[in-house]
Amino acid sequence: MKLKFVCSLSAAAAMMTAAALAQTNGSSPALPSAPGVASDPAAGTTNATGIKIGAINVEQAIFASNEGQRDFDALSKKLEPKQNTLKGQNDEIEALKKKLEAAATPQADKTDLQRQIDSKQKILQRDAQDAQEDARNQENEIAQRILQKMAPLIVKYATENGFGMIIDTSTNNQWPNGPVLWHGPSLDITKPVVDAYNTQSGVPAPAKPAGSPAGSLGSKPSSTRPATTKPATSAPTTPK
């Protein structure tokens, strides 16, 4: 399931404050940049008005940062016991369904089994929804915490590298749900910002599985947590 988070007012305020400071204070130390990206004149695009435009996938930057990988992995492990509980509930329902479908089961027992299935499915659906909401809230807390620290760094990076505009190309902001219809890879500053954030945070890179390419930004995981058991939306029809 895709992470969907909303940039909080405090994060937006931090970004605006950083922009104001960047304009009034030119003595701040330069941020580290990735070879071939920030230092490359082709990075970013200057339009007819002379404004240099860049793009960043904020969602991917949060996931790809060492801090993000560490904290989302820890959250996934934290949620495992609840996932196991939901799986146990689902397995129990599946076992009852098999009994219900067995030809040797008396009709009176089938009626009772159907009632049990209906009741347990309602409980599972409610528990699964609660678990998903809790997981989503905890994911958003991690994302917002990282974004609070990353937002001013993005503004600082953009200011020091001469960008007049940075657009967010996160998946949930793509057209038609957002203004970005298309952007070329030469505009992207996600990797240098992640590298700069990793330097600032001091969080070491997580151990990579054997065979992983060194130095790659990596892709956002398809899910930051184990998939929640999806209960059946309707009970099977009682055999006649």
Report the pLDDT value the prediction gives residue 177, as an integer from 0 to 100: 77
Query: In this structure, which amino acid lies at residue 74?
Result: A
Report the pLDDT value the prediction gives residue 48, as an integer from 0 to 100: 55
Distances in whole angstroms, Cα of residue 33 to Cα of each of 37, 100, 169, 191, 229: 7, 63, 20, 9, 42
**Cβ(44)–Cβ(161) under 8 Å?**
yes
Report the pLDDT value the prediction gives residue 234, as an integer from 0 to 100: 39
**Cβ(72)–Cβ(138) under 8 Å?**
no
| Helical segments of 102-203, H only | 107-160, 190-201
**Cβ(34)–Cβ(195) under 8 Å?**
yes
Which residues have a Cβ under 8 Å from the Cβ of 82 and sit 6 or more positions away? 131, 134
**Cβ(221)–Cβ(92) under 8 Å?**
no
- Distance between CA atoms of residues 60 and 170, nearest Å: 7
Grouped pLDDT means (10 residues each) for the chain, 240 residues? 44 45 43 41 54 92 96 96 97 94 87 95 97 97 96 95 92 75 88 96 85 57 43 38
Report the pLDDT value the prediction gives residue 36, as an integer from 0 to 100: 38
What residues pair up with 110 in beta bridges, in sequence order? none
Report the pLDDT value the prediction gives residue 141, as an integer from 0 to 100: 97
The domain ranges of the chain are 9-201
Report the pLDDT value the prediction gives residue 181, as an integer from 0 to 100: 83
Tokens 């089994």 belong to residue: 113
